[in-house]
Amino acid sequence: MVLQTPTDYRIALRRLDALATAGVEGNAALEAEFRELIMSIDTYESKLGLLPIPNLPTSLAEMIELKRQQMRLKQKDLAQLLEVPAGRLSQILSGKRRVSLDLAKRLYERLGIPSDFILKNA
């Protein structure tokens, strides 16, 4: 199957979703159709030159760095915003120092990092 237009692409995505919802396991014909749709969609998307979805942060340091970049702040400006010395922030970002409870609160309040993410990754 070759997808050539955005309409073909949307139809293929809908069919793929329907197959995934219905379940294709155990049915060889549906499994083959499912694999063919995935390959066709992949080929079409690669022709479009879409950017890959970036990986989501898995550590608190990565999340802080992502927020810093989104806010277009320099590391020293972020340290001021969080009311910590620049050296301490550098140690936190490099994994050499842990986050205190006070800093965790400021990360939540000032950077909008979800509290559950902070707790799981602190």
**CA angle at 45 for the pair 39 and 46, rounded to the nearest 5°:** 90
pLDDT digits (tens, 9 = 90+) for 34-87: 899 899 988 888 888 766 667 789 999 999 999 999 999 999 999 999 999 999
pTM of the model: 0.57
pLDDT at 82: 96
pLDDT digits (tens, 9 = 90+) for 21-31: 888 788 888 88
Which residues does 9 contact at the CB level (< 8 Å), separation at least 6?
A: 3, 41, 44
